[in-house]
Structure 1
Amino acid sequence: MTAGAGQGITIAVARETAPGERRVAATPETCKKLAALGAQVRVQRGAGFTAGFTDEAYAGAGAQLVDDATAALDNADVVLCVQPPAASVLAQLKPGAALVGMLAPQADAARAAAIESRGVLAFPLERLPRTTRAQAMDILSSQAGMAGYKATLIAAQLAPRFFPMLTTAAGTIRPSKVLIVGAGVAGLQAIATAKRLGAQVEGFDVRPETREQIESLGGKFLDLGVSAAGEGGYARQLTDEERALQQQRLAEHLKTVDVIVCTAAVPGRPAPKIVTAAMVAGMKPGSVIVDLAAETGGNCELTRPGETIGSDNGVVVAGPLDLASMGAVHASEMYARNLLNFASLFVKDGALAFDWNDELLAKTVWPRPPDSSGVAA
């Protein structure tokens, strides 16, 4: 399907409106590169302000500045966003327009209905296939890296102790013992950050093949003697007996831990519960848990999304939200490059050219690829 041939297309970026969201979907750098693809980039004034990008920088990159979101989105061929637009905003989009961002259409019935009824080509990049070719477009990885970094810094701030070992006139301070639960992108960044801060770091994951990655960052792999190794590199489901043994050994180990950073998440599903209330009750007073998975329910039973609470035995449990947004400058730079690389798949010489034989487009578009007429099949 090709659209806009010979006329040039408009790519729009409006200011994000979700509470606490500081990121922006395009930076002056990516605006310049989008323009090189033959597109006119239209940016709402102030869209990049909270991420450290001025209107003057966008104008200098060739973007057209407009005063409000309605003007930005009017008749746009492509809309780039961070958080999903409200259903009322989706209703303003041009039929056939491409919408690219973290959209989670299945999470909101009104949003899904607005996308379908308007005939918008939605590309929720959280659906992007995890292939080598897609790495430069992988928003989950780029944003998880910032989230893991920030979660570790929050843990260091909340902990009533130093992370590194110190030799002082008042005696030697032993290093904090930090356990990172989950060794995905966020967990590995958390391990690296805690190690740089001087802590004694352990990493735990149900996939034994993560041992090498954890150890390459200076962490120690926490082996509880239960392996969830399955076929094709995926973890298998533990039996009830295996899970009980794992929980028992983890509970015993947590009695010696000063800080836990939880990062285990499954896209599109509630976060697995790994740290139980009973485990927290067995931890030392003054211990800290930072639950990066709070947005999807948390890995800890006591986590309250968006809150920092104290347990009955003096353990602090934090469930911070919008962690990637806390590092808005670099998070936006990475995210905007992800979107630029994805848009490059279908923005060709100032026109929209969708190749539905390309699995990155066909498997990401929601709800399904259009047929040859451009109508959803």
Structure 2
Amino acid sequence: MGSATRIAVLRERASGETRVSATPETVRKLIGLGASVAVEAGAGLHASIADADYLAAGAAVSPLAQVLDGANIVLGIQAPDPALLDGAASGAWVVAAMDPFAQPSRVGAYAAAGLEALAMELMPRITRAQSMDILSSQSNLSGYKAVLVAANLYGRAFPMMMTAAGTVSAAKAFVMGVGVAGLQAIATARRLGAQVSATDVRSATREQIQSLGAKPIFVENVRGIEGEGAGGYAGEMSEEYRRAQAELVSAHLARQDIVITTALIPGRAAPRLISDAQIATMKPGSVIFDLAAPQGGNVEGGVADEVVERHGVKIAGFSNTPAHLPAEASALFARNLFNFVSAFWDKEQGKPILDDEIGAAIRLTQGGRVVHPRLLG
């Protein structure tokens, strides 16, 4: 990279993607580091950001070819097609969510093009990387949106209401998986007035559930209750625990009005949490929102981006939930990217220098080769 690092912000091309990887706020901050920023025309329109807003923040706004010309860093939400990146500088960083295990050929194309692909979703869960963690920032919004969509699909009110005509009972909401998305789902359902319960394979989440005013639903005295995987993610459950949990959850599900499922293990298909037989025991009019829909879903019979009705129960889930809150999702994602670039910015060299455990965790390609250990096995 030269002394004046050039940062390119691309318009997203994936179907249904409404977010943008930089906002006027982060453009100003990137320029404050000493970089120049070029934004592709129309990049922020779906997130309610006009080209004029980027110009006012100090960015150049141009067609793709001009934006990429000599770019040292390319920012994106979803990994751009390597074929689009002609004109970027040799060794340029491509910083985005890469989905590398499902898209190994794309990673290979980045390597062949001499680009350094950095997968932001592989950010290690360590204290100093929290502000760079796109999974956390986007999951927070996803948990919120899941409850709002479920409430909209539910044909009744969430809170208990005392009226002259009688009392309306509070809805019962059950959150399965208490990571960032699950915690926000609990908080949102509580704000709407539901009676909320939640479960997770990690026993450490019990206190978090209780702190938000929800009831923890846990299998007791069965091996596998800890369920703590590497890096703070949930791991695979033992078979004994899986059976015991299925029995407990089946009895609990039958009494619920709203269910939010959030269980994901990075790089793997989503675990199945709710079977068709369990759905059949639920009350007609109940709603399940499956946040794991993009990775195959936690719920049998669910279809991403469709509302499916089975046994009188509505099942919904988006392939890209944060894209349904484009302005806020873009603001948070863009801050994650700025925090990442600024954390490694070397003032003397006028560019970021990535050379530590974070680099080793997120770097997919370098020097014309695929270098990430999980992609070399």
1:84-139 Cα offsets, whole Å, 9 max, x none, are 11232145533200011111233224311210101111110111111000001000
Q: Are 2:216 and 1:218 aligned? A: no
Provide the secondary structure at the position in 2 that maps to 1:198.
coil
**Counterpart in the other structure of 1:46:** 42
Taking structure 1 as reference, are residues 207 and 109 closer, same or farther at Cα in structure 2, changes over 3 Å only? Answer: closer
Question: Normalization by structure 2: what TM-score?
Answer: 0.92
Task: Show the 5 A alignment for 1:304-323.
Answer: 304-311=303-310, 313-323=311-321
1:230-284 Cα offsets, whole Å, 9 max, x none, are 5787756444333222212211111101110111111111111111111111111
Residue identity in the other structure for 1:359 = E
User: Could you tell which deviates more after superposition, 266-275 or 231-240?
Assistant: 231-240
**Counterpart in the other structure of 2:251:** 252
**Counterpart in the other structure of 2:196:** 201
1:22 offset after TM fit, Å?
Answer: 1.0
**Counterpart in the other structure of 2:271:** 272
Unaligned runs of 5+ in 2: 372-377
Provide the secondary structure at the position in 2 that maps to 1:256.
coil
1:71 offset after TM fit, Å?
Answer: 1.9
**Counterpart in the other structure of 1:229:** 226
Q: Are 2:5 and 1:9 aligned? A: yes
User: Could you tell which deviates more after superposition, 243-252 or 346-355?
Assistant: 346-355
Query: In the comparison of the two structures, how many residue pairs are matched?
Result: 366
1:304 offset after TM fit, Å?
Answer: 1.1
**Counterpart in the other structure of 2:301:** 302
1:57 offset after TM fit, Å?
Answer: 1.4
Mapped to 2, the partners of 1:242 and 1:334 lie a distance apart of 36
1:9 offset after TM fit, Å?
Answer: 1.5
Mapped to 1, the partners of 2:344 and 2:239 lie a distance apart of 48
Q: What is the Cα-based RMSD across aligned positions, in Å?
A: 1.9
Mapped to 2, the partners of 1:90 and 1:282 lie a distance apart of 52
Taking structure 1 as reference, are residues 344 and 375 closer, same or farther at Cα in structure 2, changes over 3 Å only? Answer: farther
Question: Normalization by structure 1: what TM-score?
Answer: 0.92
**Paired-residue identity, %:** 46
**Counterpart in the other structure of 1:243:** 242
Mapped to 2, the partners of 1:262 and 1:26 lie a distance apart of 30
Residue identity in the other structure for 1:228 = I
1:52 offset after TM fit, Å?
Answer: 1.5
Residue identity in the other structure for 1:97 = A
Mapped to 2, the partners of 1:235 and 1:108 lie a distance apart of 23
Mapped to 1, the partners of 2:253 and 2:19 lie a distance apart of 35
Provide the secondary structure at the position in 2 that maps to 1:57.
helix
Q: Are 2:51 and 1:55 aligned? A: yes
1:228 offset after TM fit, Å?
Answer: 1.9
Mapped to 2, the partners of 1:236 and 1:331 lie a distance apart of 27
Taking structure 1 as reference, are residues 189 and 234 closer, same or farther at Cα in structure 2, changes over 3 Å only? Answer: closer
**Counterpart in the other structure of 1:160:** 155
User: Could you tell which deviates more after superposition, 38-47 or 244-253?
Assistant: 244-253
1:62-101 Cα offsets, whole Å, 9 max, x none, are 10111x2222112200000001112321455332000111
Q: Are 2:66 and 1:71 aligned? A: yes
Taking structure 1 as reference, are residues 43 and 235 closer, same or farther at Cα in structure 2, changes over 3 Å only? Answer: closer
Mapped to 2, the partners of 1:237 and 1:146 lie a distance apart of 25
Mapped to 2, the partners of 1:271 and 1:16 lie a distance apart of 26
**Counterpart in the other structure of 1:342:** 340
1:346 offset after TM fit, Å?
Answer: 3.7
Unaligned runs of 5+ in 1: none
Residue identity in the other structure for 1:303 = G
Structure 1 residue corresponding to 2:137, chosen from 135, 142, 145? 142
1:292 offset after TM fit, Å?
Answer: 0.7
